[in-house]
Amino acid sequence: MKKITFYLLLLLVGISGNCNREKTQMAHLDESVKDIDGNIYKTVKIGDQWWMAENLKVTHYRNGDQIACLTIDDEWDQPMGAYCYYNNDISNIGQYGMLYNWFAVSNSRSIAPEGWHVPTEAEWQELVEYLGGDTLAGSRMKKPTKDTIGFAALFGGYRYNHGAFDGIGINAYFWSSTESNEGNAWYRYLYYGNSNVYRDDSGWKQAGYSVRCVRD
């Protein structure tokens, strides 16, 4: 009788252990987050960070104020928060999201959903180091394959500070919230042809780059 009781206890412990392991695994599965416009984004946990797995496409700040949409080249080079979509072609929004200037990124009203924020340069660095460093992380951050981790970087191109568009299908540019100097800010970019993640502090604040948010 004692042996039977002992084996039953072992079985119950095993079941409990499996349930606990399942909960641990579930904590790493994709969740989702909604912005103020009602757009829903997939998310992924990488190391200790939760990241959006899609580019931001919100058109309002968190408090409901409209972000300026500037499509004309001559209007784009202004020191005010603004967004656009690549080549002013609305069909690009679904796949690539919006391109934002740094004035929108750094605005105190916040373009990120509640509980999220635009990553600092240090938070980008934490992600890159976790994925193997500057020369390897890019291959794991690209569109999902069996060797990637779900970040799903898309090559949505960028907009120059003077308004012209470039790089769709070739480059993925992402803002950080960290200022470099009065006219520039830090950003990261990937090139489709290699596995690097490039780091630069010379991004014109009027340039239009993609945005990924990280959880607070």
8 and 46 part of one domain: no
133 and 207 part of one domain: yes
Q: H or E element: which one contains 99?
A: strand 99-100
135 and 158 part of one domain: yes
**Which pLDDT does position 90 carry in this prediction?**
96
Quote the Cα angle for 176-139-192, to 5°. 80
115 and 166 part of one domain: yes
85 and 23 part of one domain: no
40 and 106 part of one domain: yes
User: What is the residue-level pLDDT of the chain in tens, covering all 216 positions?
Assistant: 444 443 333 333 343 333 333 322 323 445 799 999 999 999 999 999 999 999 999 999 999 999 999 999 989 999 999 999 999 999 999 999 999 999 999 999 999 999 999 999 999 999 999 999 999 999 999 876 655 679 999 999 999 999 999 999 999 999 999 999 999 999 999 999 999 999 999 999 999 999 999 999
Q: How many CA atoms lie within 13 A of 210 on its CB side?
A: 28
Structural domain including 192 reads 31-215
- Cβ 98 vs Cβ 85: under 8 Å: yes
Q: H or E element: which one contains 158?
A: strand 156-159
91 and 2 part of one domain: no
5 and 97 part of one domain: no
13 and 38 part of one domain: no
175 and 71 part of one domain: yes
- Cβ 213 vs Cβ 62: under 8 Å: no
109 and 136 part of one domain: yes
> Who's near 56: CB < 8 A, 6+ residues apart?
35, 41, 97, 98, 100, 111, 112, 210, 211, 212, 213
12 and 67 part of one domain: no
**Which pLDDT does position 149 carry in this prediction?**
75
Domains in the chain, number = 2
